[in-house]
C-alpha cells in the first residue's frame, strides 16, 4: 500500500469511531429532548450543524430513530386516563408464530406497547383508555376472543413515578450558592 492510500485507510477508521461516538451522544440527547436544536447539538458535540442533520436523517432512514415523542405526565392534567398492563399467554399455531399474533394485537390503536417476554407468560401489552370500564371492554371484547390467546391477566397502573428514565417530580438544586 502506498502512503496516501494508507492515510486514507486510517482516516476512515478514525472517521468511523467519530461517527459511532456522535451517534451515541446524539441519541442520548434525543432520547430526553425531542426538540433538540441542531445548531445547539452541534456546539455541544463539537461538530457542524450539517453533520448533525445528516446523521439524524440517516438514523431516521435506518429506523434507529423511530419517532419524536413527548413524555407527558397525564396525572397533572384534567384528562382522565388509565394505563393497564396485560400479561397475555398464547398458543402459537402452525404457520402463525409469535410475530403474527403480536401483529394482530398491535394493530389495535389502543395498544401502546407490546413486548414478547421470557418466563411465565408470552406478551406484555400496555394499553391506555379513559376509564377502567373501557379497558375491561377492550380485554373482553377484543383481546381475549382472539383465537390464539389462552389467558390474560390485567394490572392497572396506580401511579407513575418514573417513565422513560425521567422522574416525574421536580428535582431541586440543594447546593449552597457559592462554594470554593
Partner 1 sequence: MDSSRFLSEKVKEIKPSGIRKFFDIVSEMKDAISLGVGEPDFETPWHIREEGIFSLEKGKTFYTSNSGLMELREEIAKYLARKIHVSYDHKSEILVTVGGSEGIDAVLRAVLNPGDEVLIPEPCYVSYVPCAKLADGVPVSIELKEEDNFKLTRELLLEKITPKSKVLILPFPNNPTGGIMTKEDLEAIADVIIDNDLLVLSDEIYSELTYQGEHVSIASLPGMKDRTIVINGFSKAYAMTGWRLGYTAGPKEILSQVTKIHQFAIMCAPTTSQYAAISALRNGDPDVEMMRESYNQRRRYLMHAFKRMGLDCFEPFGAFYMFPSIKRFGMTSEEFATRFLEEEKVAVVPGTAFGDCGEGFLRISYAYSLEQLKVALERLERFIKKLDSENNTKQDS
Identify the residue whose cell numbers are 410475530: 99
- The C-alpha atoms of residue 122 and residue 110 are separated, in whole angstroms, by 19
How far apart (Å, rounded) are the C-alpha atoms in residues 180 and 176?
A: 11
Contact between 160 and 107 (Cβ < 8 Å):
no
Indicate the residue among 40 and 147 with the shorter CB distance to partner 1: 40
Q: Which is nearer to partner 1, 107 or 179 (CB)?
A: 179
Grid-cell match 370500564, residue found? 133
> Which residues contribute to the site for partner 1 (CB under 8 A)?
25, 40, 43-46, 171, 173, 175-180
DSSP run (H or E) holding 116: strand 111-116
Q: State the minimum distance, in angstroms, from the CB of residue 8 to partner 1.
A: 25
Query: Measured from the CB atom, is 40 or 80 closer to partner 1?
Result: 40
Amino acid at each position: 500500500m502506498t502512503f496516501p492510500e494508507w492515510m486514507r485507510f486510517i482516516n476512515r477508521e478514525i472517521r468511523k469511531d467519530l461517527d459511532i461516538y456522535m451517534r451515541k451522544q446524539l441519541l442520548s440527547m434525543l432520547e430526553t429532548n425531542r426538540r433538540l436544536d441542531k445548531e445547539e447539538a452541534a456546539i455541544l458535540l463539537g461538530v457542524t450543524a450539517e453533520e448533525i442533520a445528516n446523521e439524524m436523517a440517516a438514523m431516521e432512514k435506518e429506523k434507529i430513530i423511530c419517532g419524536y415523542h413527548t413524555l407527558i405526565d397525564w396525572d397533572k392534567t384534567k384528562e382522565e386516563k388509565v394505563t393497564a398492563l396485560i400479561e397475555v399467554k398464547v398458543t402459537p399455531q402452525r404457520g402463525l408464530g409469535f410475530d403474527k399474533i403480536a401483529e394482530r394485537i398491535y394493530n389495535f390503536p389502543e395498544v401502546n406497547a407490546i413486548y414478547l417476554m421470557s418466563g411465565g407468560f408470552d406478551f406484555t401489552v400496555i394499553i391506555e383508555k379513559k376509564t377502567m370500564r373501557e379497558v375491561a371492554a377492550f380485554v373482553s371484547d377484543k383481546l381475549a376472543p382472539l383465537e390464539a390467546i389462552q389467558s390474560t391477566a390485567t394490572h392497572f397502573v396506580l401511579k407513575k413515578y418514573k417513565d422513560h428514565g425521567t422522574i416525574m417530580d421536580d428535582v431541586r438544586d440543594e447546593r449552597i450558592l457559592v462554594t470554593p
